Structure 1
Amino acid sequence: MSGFVPLPGLVALPGDSGFDYMYTAILSVKVNISNFKIPSAYLKREVEIDIYAPEGILGNEKIELLLLNDGQDVAKMNFTKILQNAHHNKRNHRLIVVAIKASEDRLMEYGVAGFPDFKGRGAKANLYTDFVVKELLPFVKKKIAMPVIGKVAFGGFSLGGLSAFDIAWNNPSVFDAVGVFSGAFWWRKKDLTEGYTDADRILHALIDSTSTKADMKFWLMTGTEDEKADRNKNLIIDSIDDTIDVVKSLLKKGYKRPDQIFYYEKVGGKHDVPTWESAMPAFLDWTFSN
């Protein structure tokens, strides 16, 4: 059958006459962005969000959800392309992403709920938690208008990553996974000049003294050029030391690598949006792999 051209998404097998074709690819998924402003009674302000949603969801797919702190940084990425690529070969999965833009009060709203740092930062982290769980998620699920039956994850960058970890850890009935890019795991209750020891790190103490669900998943990354600080003079920057110590704390809790804990150390990675953008596909693939 000379001149026969297969349709997109079809490939001929050796010896085919033009009739024996099989599907081997999935057409790319288009991602649309919608912007909303949510009035929050807890934060006493409007919270701006961007929702990245695949087009053409029928309702019979496994819908999954990812929240990202510091949505203003997500907006600097080519995130629609990243999310489109994340859907390749996932015929029955659809991932919806909600990027939450931080306000001028970021240093107060992000942190560990109930445990401000030595400068009093993070004092509104409990209110931000209430916003996410009691206002944002109901709003988003109403907009989706279909059940989210797959994983629900929370991720963030730097201090936004610390916040995401804290909220996911303390709300195991809501979240299944957490992703932290260059996390501010140094968050501490004492300044370095006030007799600080590693026991003063707030999130590590939280992990050691509390628990979350046994099947929670944790994806953590740092870059080898994330910062210059090295408070214990061991020739390893603090961001790497602090993140590895989070991994150690999780291992002591019984979580296993690599199924539940994944640590990604990016050579040359910096504390910036391009680094986090480059790591995002790996996070999405690992977190929403099945």
Structure 2
Amino acid sequence: MYAAILSVKINTIKLQIPSVFLKRDVDIDIYLPEGILGNEKIELLLLNDGQDVAKMDFEQVLKTSHQNKRNSRLIVVAIKASIDRIMEYGVAGIPDFKGRGAKASLYNNFIIQELLPFVKKQIAIPITGKVAFAGFSLGGLSAFDIAWNNPDVFDVIGVFSGAFWWRKKDLADGYTDEDRIMHALIDTTFTKPDMKFWLMTGTEDEKADRNKNLIIDSIDDTIDIIKGLSNKGFKRPEHVFYYEKVGGKHDVPTWENVMPAFLNWAFEC
């Protein structure tokens, strides 16, 4: 007797949201499983840098992820960044040493007050399962910041090759690790105890090594994020999962390759 493998078709809906906060139209792609009956557990994932998601075979990735999920469906919203990406992404209220991320608070407001109500109205289905926010590089930092600061909205955070180096002081101006903005935010705030974190780096994400310890900065900075979360009481692997991709680069093919692992962990059956 062979078990039937469920095949779920994924439709992609392209939409624009006029944002009062960002003063522009925001392009989004909604990846919507076909044939939702209404009795399934409905889960939602927001992804920053939707223009990178569009370079993946994401419909197939999502289709495959549904094969063992008979009683749940995952809806994904990929938010495309604008030419103002480096100002809109970052840590809300705390620009980096070059003033980048100055519009991060406005982007936070867009996500919470404009995007989510718009999406929920479009899909017209109650979200009964987890709500996650994830992103790549600087988009991962942004997703972490927004989800961390809105624990009543989000349950899961995913970061692929996160820009956790984001700092208040340049290396040439007496920088120390205490100048890393997200690490300091974790140290000084706390979110709900059941939030989950999936953090990924590639061993070839970059070549920079600030402290000359023969470990690239992206790995060092991510490991220190995990230490900060551990100090807050989050435990591994229940709350925090670290995926180090051997040979992984700071690029879309690497992130596409590890996406199934994130989806399976974040939205387990």
TM over 0.5: yes
Output the CA distance in 2 between the equivalents of 1:142 and 1:248.
39
Check if 1:147 corresponds to 2:129.
Answer: no
Picking from 17, 29, 32, the partner of 2:8 is: 29
Output the CA distance in 1 between the equivalents of 2:102 and 2:38.
40
CA RMSD of aligned residues (A): 0.7
User: Could you list the per-position Cα deviations for residues 207-241 of structure 1 after superposition, in whole angstroms to 9, with x for gaps in the alignment?
Assistant: 00001111000000000000000010000000000
Counterpart for residue 272 of structure 1: 251
> What TM-score, normalized by structure 2, do the two folds share?
0.99
Counterpart for residue 68 of structure 1: 47
Letter in 2 for 1:99: A
Identity %: 77
Picking from 180, 193, 196, the partner of 2:159 is: 180
Counterpart for residue 219 of structure 1: 198
Q: Is the 8 A contact 1:67 1:97 kept in 2?
A: yes
1:26 CA displacement:
3.3
The secondary structure found in structure 2 opposite 1:223 is strand
Counterpart for residue 190 of structure 1: 169
The secondary structure found in structure 2 opposite 1:193 is helix
> Which structure has the higher relative contact order (CA within 8 Å, separation 6+)?
2
Output the CA distance in 1 between the equivalents of 2:158 and 2:236.
15
Counterpart for residue 17 of structure 1: none
Count how many residue pairs are aligned between Structure 1 and Structure 2.
269
Check if 1:235 corresponds to 2:214.
Answer: yes
> What TM-score, normalized by structure 1, do the two folds share?
0.92
User: Could you list the per-position Cα deviations for residues 112-155 of structure 1 after superposition, in whole angstroms to 9, with x for gaps in the alignment?
Assistant: 00000000000000000000000000000011111101000000
Picking from 235, 246, 249, the partner of 2:225 is: 246
Letter in 2 for 1:29: V
The secondary structure found in structure 2 opposite 1:113 is coil
Counterpart for residue 31 of structure 2: 52
Over 2 Å off, 4+ runs: none
Output the CA distance in 1 between the equivalents of 2:219 and 2:69.
33
Check if 1:263 corresponds to 2:245.
Answer: no
1:45 CA displacement:
0.2
Output the CA distance in 2 between the equivalents of 1:280 and 1:262.
14
Letter in 1 for 2:217: D
Report the structure number with the largest CA radius of gyration: 1
Letter in 1 for 2:160: F
